[in-house]
Structures are given as C-alpha cells and as structure tokens.
Amino acid sequence: MGSNTILGTVLDAPALVVGERTVRMELGPHWPVAGHVLHTVDLTDDQLTLRLEVHSDDTPFPASCGWHPWFPRRLDGVDVEITVSARAMLTRGDDGLPDGGRISPPPPGPWDDCFEGIGAPTVLEWPGVVRLSIDSDAGYLVVYDEQRDGVCVEPQTAPPNDLAFTVTPDRPLVATTTWHWDVG
C-alpha cells in the first residue's frame, strides 16, 4: 500500500525455506533497518499453530506483528457467529483508527475495531458446520465483519498504527496464534 505498512513489510516478500516448517523473509526495501521475519507453521488434523519472529540484523527498531486472515461469512448456507471475550475495545477516531488510548466496553457487532484484554479464545462458529477457536499471545485482536462475504479476525501485538515493541539484535518480537477446529 505504497509507503503505508498496514499489511506489513513482508506481504509480497519472497520466502526462503530455512527449516522443515519455517520460512524467512527480509523486511524489504521500504523498511529503513535491516531485519527479517521467521514464520513457523505447525499443522495437525484439528489445529494450526503459527509463530512469527521479527528480528533486527544490526540496529534496534520499533515493530509490531500479527496475522490478517479472512474467513467466509457463510459456509454451507450458514452465517458465521463471532464471539470475542475482551476486557475493552479501543475507541476509534474520525479516521477509523484507535484514537490514542481511550477504551470502552465492547459493544455488539458489526465491528471494525481493536480489542484488548482478550480473556479467552475468539470463536468463529458456523452452527452445525464448523467451530474455529483462535487463541494468541499477541495481546490485541482486530475484528472486521462489515463485509458482505467475509470476516477478518487478526491477532496483533499492538493496535493498528502502533509500533509498541523495540526489536534489538538480541531481542526479537515473537508472537504465536493457535487455531483449533471442530467439524460438524
């Protein structure tokens, strides 16, 4: 998105396989500091675990990371129901982004919002079809369900437009998310 890194700096970066389940991507030409990301994927019959590591190659820099998965609103003719267990929602300003720290109790959806204080896995359920639980240590969750055909549930280490962690050569930013599903 031009100079905006809203979808990250490795969105279109080539991935180099560095392990059986891990790829490495360079932060890219638009990022002013040399660094890389490691993404590890573990998949079983009913669970997916993802791990992101943001590394500095030589100079400290601010960062955040997360995932931006989209899911279909309808499966087998059934609409998704989203359950978010959060302490608070960050209030949005006129630009649609969190406005600097104000919080409010989470209202019912639809949402294009960032939540904090996640107390339990977020659940996407298509009743009678599949139930997906999304858990993460990332600390924040953006939920977007205003589209007709899809919903987005994004574990993130910081609110949108916030680089809350300083990555150093000896301290990477690390986040994990685990998705567990039950069919039927």
pTM summary value: 0.89
Asked whether residue 107 is domain-assigned, the answer is yes
Asked whether residue 122 is domain-assigned, the answer is yes
Q: What is the DSSP code string of 51-65? A: EEEEEESSS-EEE--
CB 17 within 8 A of CB 42: no
Range of the domain at 24: 16-183
131 Cβ neighbours under 8 A, 6+ residues apart: 123, 124, 125, 181, 182
Give residue 1's pLDDT: 44
Asked whether residue 158 is domain-assigned, the answer is yes
Tell me, what CATH number does 128's domain have?
2.70.98.10
Can you point out the beta strands (E) in the chain? 16-17, 22-26, 35-43, 47-56, 61-63, 70-72, 74-75, 78-79, 81-83, 86-92, 98-104, 112-118, 122-126, 130-136, 140-144, 150-156, 165-167, 173-183
Asked whether residue 7 is domain-assigned, the answer is no
Asked whether residue 149 is domain-assigned, the answer is yes
Asked whether residue 178 is domain-assigned, the answer is yes
Q: What are the per-10-residue average pLDDT scores of the chain (184 residues)?
A: 56 86 89 92 97 96 93 96 91 76 76 91 97 96 93 94 90 98 92
Asked whether residue 98 is domain-assigned, the answer is yes
Number of domains in the chain: 1
Question: Dihedrals φ, ψ of 2, to 5°?
Answer: 65, -130
Give residue 5's pLDDT: 52
CB 115 within 8 A of CB 141: yes
